[in-house]
Structure 1
Amino acid sequence: MDQKTISTMEFDQIKHELGRYLVSASGKRELAALTPSADYDQIQYWLNETTDGADILRLTGGIPIPKLKNIQPQLKRLRINANLNGTELAQITKVLQTSMSVKNFFIEFKEQQKFELRVINDAVQQLITIPSVTKRLIQSIDPDGRVTDEASTKLHGIRRLITKTETEIHHQMERFTQGKNAKYLSDAIVTVRNDRYVVPVLARYRNKFGGVVHDQSASGQTLYIEPATVVEYNNRLRQAQVEEKQAILEVLAELSKLISPYQDEIKENAKILGHLDFINAKARYARDHQDSLPLLSTDNRVIIRQARHPMIDPQKVVANDIKIGDEYKAIVITGPNTGGKTITLKTFGLIQMMGQAGLFIPAQEGSTIAVFDNIYADIGDEQSLEQNLSTFSGHMENVKSILERITDRSLVLLDELGAGTDPKEGAALAMSILDYIASKDSTVVVTTHYPELKIYGYERPKTINASMEFDQETLKPTYHLLLGIPGRSNGVEIAQRLGINETIITEAKSLVSEDSQDLNQMIGELVEQRKAAREEKERLQKLLVVNQKKQDELTIKLDRFNEQRDSLLAKARNEANHEVSVAKKKADRIIHHLRQLEISQAGNVKEHELIDAQGALNALHQEDPRLKRNAVLRRAKAKHDFHVGDAVLVKSYGQQGELLSKRGKHKWEVQIGILRMEIDENDLEKISHKQLRKEERAREKVSSGIRTTQTRHTSAQLDLRGHRYEQAMSELSAFIDHALLNNLSSVTIIHGKGTGALRKGTREYLSSNPRVKSFDYAAPNNGGDGATIVNL
């Protein structure tokens, strides 16, 4: 890829931002070498890796890679048989340890996520783990490079001796820092001079202490003396410290020799971990910048939806659709300065480079990019204070170099083509250059001020005009790219808005040709129409999203409804067929009995009449899935065909009442005795007025003191298993009320064992109900502590 274009497009700024996500030295080296590729297969493989990284990031938070230092110098030292120090060994240990943890991570990922990655496993499988060596290193070297006590038996013994000796020295020193001798010290502390323990003694009391003077203070008032009684202990400590250093060197030599045969494996592991770190970084960058996976075109067609420049503040950037390579291979963007022409060129070029480098792009999902063999640009950004304005000759030198190298798979981006010279000559030169590029069948996007190129864009094949939208009222740019519409000049209008003398404005307008004025007016109308169409499209897209969401919700609800309907129909069919089966068996017995009578008594019953009767009974078995003629379903439907004045049973209360009026779609106002209540129709069941009057007479007898039998069926058993706690407690309360109303003396509550929540709630409720006489668990052969017998 052309290095000058890479610099012009500020691709290195993307790499710099990407580097913030890297934690390994090897990953940073890979990033430094990153450049866009022109190989379709290579780009697709890179994009697959980035997609794998994005999926892992979404599902688990990313590949667990810690900070890894550069171990190349350590491996070079091993190649010349040098011994590594503790810090160097710790860094290699971290690489080996991370190799094992990453390998285990991907094994667990495959088992737990049941998600098939695309290509990243190719790199993971190349990791070589050395468990025995890794374990030995972890045991011997701390992460900060310190050799541990467990590194060798000899070192462990020496360090125990050092600790013991230091304890004895401090014990001896306490005779001087505490008690009557402390008054001879400038400070009652123990310190170290020349690697030996000493005490700070006032110079005038030197004769009070025997021993060796190792140092004195700057003023000479304090002498640091090693007491005679401690000299031998210090000697012993010093000897142990020398032995400790030697033992450490032996451990480091042993460990260096241990890993020396695995230099190539360690080097390759570090490289693979760096590559995985790089994939991690690409995924995190894409997530934080809301980038998406681009599709690759095999024939260099570009359809980038809502392209954004990645370096512009997301709150301020204006997204544009960029399309080229199908109906047209050249775009001529015309119009005045400050409209966003240059940034549009850079956005297109930079997005192409990002995609061809295996990165996600700042655009909507489903965008398609080409695979150009090279991208060439001549862009003089007049808005950049860091760049000097290029001269005409400098631009032409750059264009000459580009024209010598382009092919039919190249992308050319030219900013202000032909500028810096006489307008007529510049326009002629620009058109000639575009014709040459067209002869090479290259893809080109060019910006210009020249009005002649508007005609060029209209007349040339595979070429389209474009412009940057301006608000016609404020004459300020909106930065929207308008494909198919040439740009208009707003110079006179802008001058008039800025307050230039009206006489000057009038004369300027008179000097502009009538054709130019008509053209500008036409362009202005097209821009307004395009703007209105775009705003309407955005409104419709938002409405489409809302409606799609509602459609999805309705589809889900419809699926659930169909499932419930099919389940209810199947249940009703089974129940109806069971009833028919029972009736059929009874009929078969009757027919058999009749046949026996006919045979034994020589009666007049005919055989064909018996067969016809049996066939009619068999026809009662319904296979219609909707069971339109099933008597069971008809009766069930009739029970829920409600009208004002109907007598109903309120199932949750076990009480009967009368429908007064409908409230909403599924609720009714019901008169229950002297009460009026709003009840959901799912809780209602239609009954006859005769049954209602019978129930009322039964209640009147009870109220007058006359004992009567129960007037409706109430089950003596309630099964709460599988119910939510609140629902179960509500059903339990209603069930006990029903049992009391029907004069039941004993009932059974089945609550199961499970977590014990239903059992505990049941017993708490029964304890609090004054109408419950007693209760206890059922017999072992009747449910045990999974059921409770209640006496009322």
Structure 2
Amino acid sequence: MNEKTIRILEFNKIIDRLVTLTASSLGAELAQQLLPEVDFEKIKINLKETSDGVNFISRRGSPPLGGVNDIRDSIRRAEIGSILNPGELIRVSGLLRAVRNLKNYASGDNIRTGEDNVVGELINCLEASKRVEDKINMCIVSEEEISDNASPALGNIRRQIRHAQNSIKDKLNDLVRSSKYQKYMQESIVTLRGDRYVVPVKQEYRSEIPGLVHDSSASGATLFVEPMAVVEANNTIRELKIKEQTEIERILQELSCDVSEISMGLKTNVELLAKLDFIFAKAKLSLDYNCVCPKLNREGRTVIKKGRHPLLDPKIVVPIDFWIGDEFDTLVVTGPNTGGKTVTLKTVGLFTLMTQAGLQIPANEGTEISVFGKVFADIGDEQSIEQSLSTFSSHMKNIVNILENVDSSSLVLFDELGAGTDPTEGAALAMAILEHLKERGCTIVATTHYSQLKVYAVTTPHVENACCEFDVETLKPTYKLLIGVPGRSNAFAISNRLGLIDSIVERAKGYLTSEEIKFEDMLMSIEKNLNQSESEKRQAQVLKLEAEKIRNEIEEQKKRFEDRKENIVKEAREEARRVLLDAKHEAENILSEMRRIQREKESSQSQKEAEDMRLKIKNKIDNIEEALSKPIIPRNTLVKPPKNLKPGDSVLIINLNQKGTVVALPDKNGEAIVQAGIMKINLHITNLKVIDEQKAQIKRTGAGEIGVSKARNISTEIDLRGLNLEDALENVDKYLDDAVISGLAEVSIIHGKGTGILRSGIHQYLKSNKRVKSYRLGKYGEGETGVTIVELK
């Protein structure tokens, strides 16, 4: 990939960000070497690695990569028999610990990430060695200290050393504190010189303390003397120190041999951990920028949905929609300076480089990126005084290099093509360059201010215009890219808004040719129509959402009505079954009694009793038949049949206590068709009452008694904890019905604190409920935010 293009498109800044997200020098090394690939299959593999890393982090959190160090030199030294120092062994232990933690991270729970997950496969290939890890940790305390528990011999030697040192210090302390020798001492202390215990003696009393002089003060007034009484003990400590060092070297040699034995596994671990660190860094970059994995193609087709340049502040960046490669393969972008043309170019180029490097890109789902063999960019002013190059010359030198190297699989990005020279010649040269690149089969995106290129894009096949939108009223760009619309220069409008004299603006317009004026007018018309269509599109989307919401509400009402209907039918069937079972039980009792009576035939009274029993059975069976012959919605003459019933009349269905509308007049059997909600029901007119007499009818049919009954039994609170929102709302709806009938003025709805979803949904429902006068959260002692107090109308 062209090195200059990588620098111009600022791909190196993405790499710098990636390096900061690695956890080790191993991963950072791989990140620094990352470059865009051109092999399609390899790019797919690299993108899958990143996606698998995102999958792992999303499901399990950040990976435990602490302790991953570059121990390759230590492994090589161990293999040739060298003794590793404590610091190197600690780093080996740290790497083994990282291996163990990663394996636990991947398999420590029941979350499955798929059998073909690259990250999971790499972690499975890691080789842990708990024995060597624990042995190193037991033997080595720090880079400077070996543990006493490293071996029994080392522990024994150090105990002897401590015993000898304490003995010497006791003797010397007695010496410096004795009245006989105290006047000879500079200070009453015991100190060390060259690992040997000495006392500070005044120079003039040197002969009073027999022993070996090891040092003197800077002034010479103090001599550090090792008294003869402790020379032998100091010699003993010296010998023990030598034994201690020999034992330490033996321990380090043993640990180094252990490392050498697993050197092949350690080498593999280093490579795998470097790769994993690199993959997780790519995944973290993707999560930080809210990226998606783009779909790949080889056809030069690029579709970016809500793309955001990763190096711009995410709080202010304006997402762009961009496409090229289907109906057109050359895009000419126009618009004012600082309007976003260059950012668009860099976004397209950088997204291509990131994708081909195996990195996800900050855009929305549905984004598609083509794999190009080469990417070229001529962006920015590279004027060079030292090389005597003007702006035009520097651009042209770069363009010449691009033209020499492009092929049919190239993406070429031009910023201000043809600028820096005479506009007429520059525009002609720009069109010639675009035509040449089109003939070579390149995909081209170019920005310009030249009107000739706008006309070229309109009149040439497979070339399309685009513009960066500009708000003339505010004199600010909106940074929105509009493909299919050539941009207006807006020079006259901007000058006028900034206060330029009207006469000057009008005179300037007079210098334009009629064709140029017509073209600008055409652009204004196109822009106006586009803005209008965009507004209408947004309105249509709002209406569509509202229609979907209404449809969902109707479906929900239909479902509730169906459920209620099923419950009524179910209750009727259960009642019929209960009546039948009671009758069966009663009949069995009667038959049993009859058999008893027949056994007592000697009495005339018994015959009379038998006859009574037979009559009782007959009456009971007749009652059962009558009960079972009743329809689910019985034809009771509960009210007088309404007279002059007409289609469209509102009626009350007495048995269901539901409102309905008459659809068809009663037939010869008195059956009328009534619309109740979404259902049509055949009902006898004796079950119907015109809606004006509803209050009296409810009173006659016992609704008042129902209200009294409910008032006796209904609670002033309902507990919804543990229910989902849909079931909770259904229960609240029924409960408020009962509460209103019962005449309750205030009720409590217990929904718990939890996540707040249940509370929010209930409050939304209460806002639009006509039975609710007001509602509030509970106060202290009432349940606080876990309870809502409702005042009913």
State the TM-score, normalized to the length of structure 1: 0.71
- Correspondences of 1:637-716 after superposition (within 5 Å): 646-647=704-705, 648-649=707-708, 666=737, 677-678=744-745
SS of equivalent to 2:262? helix
**Partners of 1:555 and 1:135 in 2: CA distance:** 67
Moved more, 94-103 or 117-126: 117-126
SS of equivalent to 2:745? strand
Q: What does residue 9 of structure 1 align with?
A: 9
Q: What does residue 362 of structure 1 align with?
A: 362
Moved more, 302-311 or 138-147: 138-147
Change (3 A) 1:410 1:177: farther
**Partners of 1:551 and 1:47 in 2: CA distance:** 42
Change (3 A) 1:587 1:94: same
Contact 2:67–2:97 (Cα < 8 Å) also in 1: no
Q: What does residue 373 of structure 1 align with?
A: 373
**Partners of 1:238 and 1:589 in 2: CA distance:** 112
Q: What does residue 411 of structure 2 align with?
A: 411
Change (3 A) 1:347 1:639: closer
Pairwise CA distance, 1:475: 2.9
Contact 1:650–1:656 (Cα < 8 Å) also in 2: no
Deviations 1:405-437 (A, max 9, x none): 434433211122222333223222222222222
Q: What does residue 447 of structure 2 align with?
A: 447
Change (3 A) 1:577 1:412: farther
**Partners of 2:552 and 2:251 in 1: CA distance:** 68
Matched, 1:352 2:357: no
SS of equivalent to 2:309? coil
Change (3 A) 1:472 1:112: closer
Q: What does residue 308 of structure 2 align with?
A: 308
Unaligned runs of 5+ in 1: 684-722, 725-792
- Correspondences of 1:237-636 after superposition (within 5 Å): 237-297=237-297, 299-381=299-381, 391-499=391-499, 504-528=504-528, 530-531=530-531, 572=571, 575-576=574-575, 578-580=577-579, 582-583=581-582, 585-586=584-585, 589=588
**Partners of 1:308 and 1:47 in 2: CA distance:** 19
Moved more, 535-544 or 80-89: 535-544
Contact 2:176–2:182 (Cα < 8 Å) also in 1: yes
Q: What does residue 103 of structure 1 align with?
A: 103
SS of equivalent to 2:313? coil
How many residue pairs get matched? Answer: 662
SS of equivalent to 1:666? helix
Change (3 A) 1:169 1:566: farther
**Partners of 1:552 and 1:234 in 2: CA distance:** 98
Q: What does residue 685 of structure 2 align with?
A: none
Pairwise CA distance, 1:510: 2.0
Q: What does residue 135 of structure 1 align with?
A: 134
Change (3 A) 1:646 1:326: same
Identity of aligned residues (%): 36
**Partners of 1:521 and 1:240 in 2: CA distance:** 101
Deviations 1:609-654 (A, max 9, x none): 99x99996997799xxxx76799xx999779999688233466865
AA of the residue aligned to 1:250: R
**Partners of 2:562 and 2:97 in 1: CA distance:** 52
Contact 2:173–2:189 (Cα < 8 Å) also in 1: no
**Partners of 2:492 and 2:558 in 1: CA distance:** 64
**Partners of 1:195 and 1:570 in 2: CA distance:** 101
AA of the residue aligned to 1:290: N
**Partners of 1:218 and 1:554 in 2: CA distance:** 97
Change (3 A) 1:486 1:235: same
Contact 2:68–2:94 (Cα < 8 Å) also in 1: yes
Change (3 A) 1:502 1:292: same
Change (3 A) 1:404 1:69: same
SS of equivalent to 2:479? strand
Q: What does residue 170 of structure 1 align with?
A: 169
Change (3 A) 1:440 1:539: same
**Partners of 2:185 and 2:559 in 1: CA distance:** 90
**Partners of 2:384 and 2:561 in 1: CA distance:** 64
Q: What does residue 34 of structure 2 align with?
A: 34
Matched, 1:45 2:36: no
**Partners of 1:212 and 1:337 in 2: CA distance:** 88
Deviations 1:239-271 (A, max 9, x none): 222222221221222222222243232111111
SS of equivalent to 1:218? coil
**Partners of 2:160 and 2:554 in 1: CA distance:** 78
Contact 2:72–2:270 (Cα < 8 Å) also in 1: no
Deviations 1:653-709 (A, max 9, x none): 65999xxxx9996365689xxxx84266999xxxxxxxxxxxxxxxxxxxxxxxxxx
Pairwise CA distance, 1:116: 6.5
**Partners of 1:536 and 1:207 in 2: CA distance:** 112
Contact 1:52–1:117 (Cα < 8 Å) also in 2: no
**Partners of 1:678 and 1:353 in 2: CA distance:** 68
**Partners of 1:535 and 1:235 in 2: CA distance:** 97
Q: What does residue 150 of structure 1 align with?
A: 149
**Partners of 2:658 and 2:184 in 1: CA distance:** 109
Unaligned runs of 5+ in 2: 602-606, 637-652, 660-693, 717-732, 754-793
SS of equivalent to 2:251? helix
Contact 1:411–1:443 (Cα < 8 Å) also in 2: yes
Pairwise CA distance, 1:489: 1.8
**Partners of 2:422 and 2:380 in 1: CA distance:** 18
Q: What does residue 729 of structure 2 align with?
A: none
SS of equivalent to 1:480? strand
Q: What does residue 215 of structure 2 align with?
A: 215
SS of equivalent to 2:125? coil
Deviations 1:572-604 (A, max 9, x none): 47844651551463487599899999xx99x9x
SS of equivalent to 1:358? coil
- What RMSD in Å do the two structures reach over aligned CA positions? 4.9
Pairwise CA distance, 1:446: 0.8
Pairwise CA distance, 1:469: 1.4
**Partners of 2:84 and 2:551 in 1: CA distance:** 64
AA of the residue aligned to 1:466: A
Deviations 1:468-497 (A, max 9, x none): 111112333222212111122233444455
Pairwise CA distance, 1:63: 1.6
Pairwise CA distance, 1:371: 2.1
SS of equivalent to 1:82? coil
Contact 2:332–2:457 (Cα < 8 Å) also in 1: yes
Q: What does residue 783 of structure 1 align with?
A: none
AA of the residue aligned to 1:139: M
Deviations 1:63-105 (A, max 9, x none): 2111422222223323433222221122122222221221222
**Partners of 1:186 and 1:541 in 2: CA distance:** 96
Moved more, 93-102 or 553-562: 553-562
Contact 2:67–2:95 (Cα < 8 Å) also in 1: no
Q: What does residue 61 of structure 2 align with?
A: 61
Q: What does residue 690 of structure 2 align with?
A: none
Contact 2:457–2:464 (Cα < 8 Å) also in 1: yes
Pairwise CA distance, 1:307: 1.3
**Partners of 2:276 and 2:655 in 1: CA distance:** 65
Pairwise CA distance, 1:465: 0.2
SS of equivalent to 2:360? coil
Contact 2:383–2:389 (Cα < 8 Å) also in 1: no
**Partners of 2:564 and 2:456 in 1: CA distance:** 67
AA of the residue aligned to 1:65: L
Contact 1:591–1:614 (Cα < 8 Å) also in 2: no
Pairwise CA distance, 1:15: 0.9
